[in-house]
Amino acid sequence: MNTAPAPGPARNPSPAPRRGGGAPRATTNRPPRRFDRPGERRRPTDRRGGRPGSATRQIQRILRRPNALSTRTTRTADYYPEPVAANAVRIIPLGGAEEVGRNMLAMEVGATGDIIVFDVGFQFVSEDSSPGVDYILPNTKYLEKNAARVKGVVITHGHLDHIGGIPFVMSRFGTPPIYTQNLTSIMIQRRQEEYPDVPKLEIIEVETGQTVTIGSTKVTFFPVTHSIPFSMGASIETPQGNVVISGDLKLDHDDGIPSEREQKTWGGLSKNKNIFFIADSTNAEKDGFSIPEKRVNQTLEEIIKTVSGRLIIGTFASQFERMIRIIEVAEKLGKKIVTEGRSIKTNLEIAEKTGLLKIEKSTVIPAQDIGNYPPDKIVILTTGAQGEEFAALMRIATHQHKHITLNERDTIVLSSSVIPGNEIAVQKLKDNLYRHGVTLIHYRSSDVHSTGHGNTGELVWMNKQVGAKFFMPYYGYYSMLACHAKAVEQSGFPRENIIMPDNGKIIDIVDGETLHAHKEKVPSAPMIVDGFTIGDIQEVVIRDRQSLAKDGMFVIIASVNLKTGKLRKSPDIISRGFIYLRESQDLLNQARLLIKKTIEDSTQGMNPIDLDYVKNNLTDVIAGFLFQRTNKAPMVIPVLIGM
Ligand SMILES: [Zn+2]
């Protein structure tokens, strides 16, 4: 028995199938197809081989089928610039300039030849745009090309959009040493333990205020306020002046007046000759000053004191200070804490290890002991405030938690904002919570959350303090960068000295005076982590998944007599996500007839029978037929068995 495999994406289908008589066309000689965008149909430009009167052939020509994709044929060569001149510095955002996440920026110092990388993040992606992909990474090709000159990686803080890519990409450019602070270092190492096969990291712990020499380049770290402790920015010394990179940050302030600590930090930076300031734009679409964390703590403290029943607080596990504050207040009031969610447990362990959290052993109790205490003595700290399907809070809300069942005396605080893209999930969560008759407090109803990123009032203040010649908004979608740029410009900063980044953009500052952006970019297409594989984004694979999600699949199984070219029996059809077969008997019968006819026509006079050729032909005809009849383009997979 000879089973012919289904056509792979690399094979180029015949544009003009030949029928009968002569030898079949060699599959390898077929011209490659253009690489079209998803969902785009091929235009009827190729008229060769069309048989008058055959509707399916017509459609076949205009139909772009998803299962016959080829790779890009007119791929331009990647661009890699020469090393930057000795009197210049170069900045290349490799990720994070067109999205929130996968932050990574490379800086090349002309005088020393050193390349230093700032942050190695990843980004979670939505199921809709990239089905099956777990997360995407910054493109590291430029660093791989220049690996010998990459002297170190600075990690500004422990959020995943700044450390998430480390296990996947560090070895691609020689696993250079990582410079970061204590807590961040522990968080990086914790994650690393989940990937035992990757090369060991060299982490050099630093403190803010400290100056280290990376390669031959001096880098000084300064403390910044953010939603995770031990966040820092970096000031990089070059002969032309300093480049200041903010990391994620906001300002600690009282009604718009920066705290003394902030004044000191930023005042210190202002004394240097700064040529370039790169700053966090994430919250730049909001004006004024963000809510200070102090107020959030006061509000939460008030709630913990006054609530009479059980209190359940949903928050981000990375909100160390907030969780610590909640636990301390609860302990003071003689309440017991229950923690739910692995990331919260892990991070509280880290907090204890680093000395951030000091509590009595008996304060934290296991969930099964809840019944041993009166409800007003219980505070539950849980993950899942973003409506994540399998997180603890959703399980509690949907009766799937072993030990916690909600009732109308419970108060629930969602101490987080809604991350864009999670709106529907959070709505579902709130609905499920309200079904229990609980009292719900969230950031819209009360100051129970503050962002970790500064509003424009804060950003403009920082920019003035740094007083650099050039400015680049960074970390965020273009709208955020644009609002940041506008605010800075309106504060009197010269417009021509603001540069808008794209991922892969090469920005050279010559003599600290002139800014030059290259026309071409270094490779910046995201790399994906898909289950256990990492690699360049496999557009073909993603597109197949999108097509499957959209129009489903249509599998044809037929046994062909290799001597006569006739079918052994009526073909089998399996379809998923396309149409409901039981109600489409008419369509199915016609499809079966067409399959039989196409196979038998294709094999007529063919000797020996080339099943690959028949299969391509069959795919084209059936895809055309289905599209004509249903206006859908399912992935057609013929399985021909030669007997
Ligand atoms: Zn952050």
319 Cα to the center of ligand 1, angstroms? 10
The pLDDT of residue 28 is 33
pLDDT band at 536 (very low <50, low <70, confident <90, very high): low
Lowest mean pLDDT among 5-19, 175-189, 201-215, 359-373: 5-19
Per-residue pLDDT of 443-468, as tens digits, reads 888 899 988 999 999 999 999 999 99
How far away, in angstroms, is 354 Cα from ligand 1 center? Answer: 19
Separation between Cα atoms, residue 520 and residue 504, nearest integer Å: 9
Position 541 pLDDT exceeds 80: no
Tell me which of 83-92, 271-280, 395-404, 415-424 is least confident: 415-424
In angstroms, rounded to a whole number, what is the distance separating the alpha carbons of residues 120 and 104? 5
Distance 161 CA to ligand 1 centre (A): 7
For the 88-288+452-530 domain, the top CATH level (class) is alpha beta
Stated as kind and residue range, the H or E segment containing 545 is helix 539-551
Given a cut of 70, whether residue 44 has pLDDT beyond it is no
Q: How confident is the model at residue 127 (pLDDT cuts 50, 70, 90)?
A: low
- Share the mean pLDDT of the chain: 85
The band of 432, judged by pLDDT with boundaries at 50, 70 and 90, is very high
Tell me, yes or no, if the two domains 293-442 and 539-642 fold the same way: no
- Judged by average pLDDT, the poorest of 53-62, 99-108, 469-478, 604-613 is 53-62
pLDDT of residue 197: 80
**What's the Cα-to-Cα distance from 551 to each of 130, 385, 485, 555, 604, rounded to whole Å?**
16, 33, 42, 13, 32
Give distance in angstroms: CA of 92 to centre of ligand 1.
20
Active-site entry in 280, 508, 544, 620 = 280
* Per-residue pLDDT, 530: 61
Residue 47 confidence class, pLDDT cut points 50, 70, 90? very low
pLDDT tops 90 at residue 596: yes
Q: Where are the domains of the chain?
A: 88-288+452-530, 293-442, 539-642
Q: Percentage of the chain surpassing pLDDT 90?
A: 63
- Report, at the CATH architecture level, how domain 539-642 is classified: Roll (3.10)
Query: How confident is residue 126, by pLDDT bands cut at 50, 70 and 90?
Result: low
Start-to-end C-alpha separation, the chain: 5
320 Cα to the center of ligand 1, angstroms:
12
Q: Rounded to an integer, what distance in angstroms lies between the CA atom of residue 67 and that of residue 293?
A: 52
pLDDT at site 128: 59
Q: Which two tokens stand for residue 372?
A: 């041993």
Catalytic residue among 114, 453, 508, 620: 453
**Residue 475 Cα to ligand 1 middle (Å):** 10
Residue 69 has pLDDT above 50, yes or no: no
Any idea which of 322-326, 468-472, 541-545 has the lowest mean pLDDT? 541-545
How many angstroms separate the alpha carbon of residue 65 from the centre of ligand 1? Answer: 42
Assess whether pLDDT exceeds 80 at residue 493. yes
Active-site residue flag, 159 = no
Residue 612 pLDDT: 86
* C-beta separation of 206 from 182 below 8 A: no
Mean pLDDT, range 272-281, rounded to an integer:
98
pLDDT at 190 over 60: yes
Contacts of 167 (CB under 8 A, 6+ apart): 191, 192, 194, 195, 198
pLDDT at residue 537 in the model: 53
Mean pLDDT of the region 594-623: 89
Tell whether the model's pLDDT for residue 70 goes beyond 80.
no
Distance 23 CA to ligand 1 centre (A): 63
Between 67-71, 215-219, 380-384, the lowest mean confidence (pLDDT) is in 67-71
Q: What backbone phi and psi angles, to 5 degrees, belong to 26?
A: -70, 130
To the query of whether residue 197 is one of the catalytic residues in this protein, the response is: no
* Phi-psi map region of 279: left, alpha, beta (phi>0 left; psi -120 to 50 alpha): beta
Residue 381 has pLDDT above 90, yes or no: yes
For the chain, give the percent of residues with pLDDT over 70. Answer: 85
Residue 604 has what pLDDT? 85
Inform me whether the pLDDT recorded for 401 exceeds 60.
yes
How is the chain split among helix, strand and coil, in percent rounded to 5?
30, 20, 45
Domain 293-442 has CATH 3.30.200.20: no
pLDDT at 243 exceeding the cut of 50: yes
Q: Which two tokens stand for residue 481?
A: 């960068």
The protein residues having their C-beta less than 5 angstroms from ligand 1 (an ion) are 159, 248
The rounded Cα 521 to chain-centroid distance in angstroms is: 21
pLDDT, one tens digit per residue, over 411-427 is 999 999 887 778 899 99
203-232 mean pLDDT? 97
